[in-house]
Amino acid sequence: MKLIAIETAAEACSAALYLSGDISIRYKILPRGHSESILEMVDDLLREANLTPASLDAVAFGRGPGSFTGVRIATGVIQGVAFAADLPVVGVSTLAALAQRTYREKGERKLLTAFDARMGELYWAGYRVGEKELVVPAIPEQVGSPQQVEIPHDDEWYGVGSGWRAYSEQLEQRLRGTLLGFKAEIYCSARDIASLAAADYQAGLAVAPEHALPVYLRNQVTNKL
């Protein structure tokens, strides 16, 4: 299977090429300029592998939540590639992708991902590791204040994402006794978008480009995560 994945929903901008389980990655921390950089990354990966978009099976993107501008860039770029090459698209939750990266790098199996949504709120969800070492939802994606975060108290969770930087005191107080620890300075990577997207594609969850839509989780969006 051949798949290109991109992620631009936060400060990190990345692209990944998935070739039958092997993944090549381009990754940069960028405060701006995601739209130009992501296209260069995609072109570089395809050229290095001697591939064209038309030779891919599908494309994938981080569908949000996250920065409104960043999610919009990823959606527009992936729709453009998919329409031009007549490819199906897989949208992957950025919260899930961050959980997958955290499991891959730290081995934590129950993850509470949270992004700073501004305006005193965060985007958050809970994940556990399922079959094939891929995360699956345990608590649905939602947006709300730190005081609205609720998790099962018979489990222990590891927190990750920018929401833990912005609201660490509130979250630690609310989740006392169920929190193993947290790490705020970690970002989504297209590597994990690609891994989750490959499984979704094989499960028949790819859609036509016109149905590849962003997920903002709320009507009031901000330009910066």
Identify the domain containing residue 105 by its residue range. Answer: 94-183
Cα–Cα nearest to 64, from 123, 144, 17, 146 = 123
* Residue 218: predicted pLDDT: 80
Residues 35, 88 within the same domain = yes
Looking at the structure, tell me whether residues 78 and 131 fall in a common domain.
no
In-domain check, residue 218:
no
Is residue 17 one of the residues assigned to a domain? yes
Q: Based on the fold, state whether residues 23 and 75 are members of the same structural domain.
A: yes
Task: List the 135-144 sheet strands across, edge first.
Answer: 135-144, 121-129, 110-118, 157-160, 179-183
Do 105 and 178 belong to one domain? yes
Contact 222, 148 (CB under 8 A): no
**CATH number of the domain residue 59 falls in:** 3.30.420.40
Total number of domains in the chain: 2
- Mean pLDDT, each 10-residue run in order, the chain (225 residues): 96 96 95 88 98 98 96 97 98 99 98 96 98 97 96 90 97 94 96 99 98 86 41
Judge whether 222 lies within some domain: no
Residues 60 and 81 in one domain: yes
Say if CB 16 and CB 5 are below 8 A apart. yes
Q: Say how many residues make up the chain.
A: 225
**Distant-in-sequence, close-in-space partners of 165: CB < 8 Å, separation ≥ 6:** 116, 184, 185
Whether 82 and 137 share a structural domain:
no
